[in-house]
Amino acid sequence: MLQKTLVILKPDAVQRRLIGKIISRFEEKGLQIVGMKFIRMTQELARKNYRQHKGRDFFEPLIRYVTAGPVVAMVLKGKEVVETTRKMAGFTFGTKAEPGTIRGDYATSSRFNLVHVSDSQEAAEAEIDIFFGTDEILEYDAVDNPWIYDMSQGTII
């Protein structure tokens, strides 16, 4: 079964002109973009999305960071998509992220870490609802799915 998750390319990814490179990684992996928008995250939106961190010492700096410039919010669809995007993003802190991950290849900061990826299926569903209306997510059959997933039994395995 294919699932959905939220990925946000944060202001540092936008300012460093890494949008195309990062999106390409997800597409090359076989993940399907079913929603995408270029926005400026408001304080209200940021506080709602990161509410689980309220009260922690990094909360206010995080809010300032993600509202400092435009972001790209995306809904990606794929098999085990939450786990896949988390592995692709790499460890939160750029200096500790493995080479080959987005953060491992492009980030050197603990705070400026280029991408937000949902940490569970439940979080993904809630976060998608924060950033996207149901009419902004486009369901369509990706013609390459039989070449990405094992469908030998008539369904994605």
116 is catalytic: yes
Residue among 47, 86, 103, 116 flagged as catalytic: 116
User: Residue 56's CB: how many other CB atoms inside 10 A?
Assistant: 11
Q: Enumerate the active-site residues.
A: 116
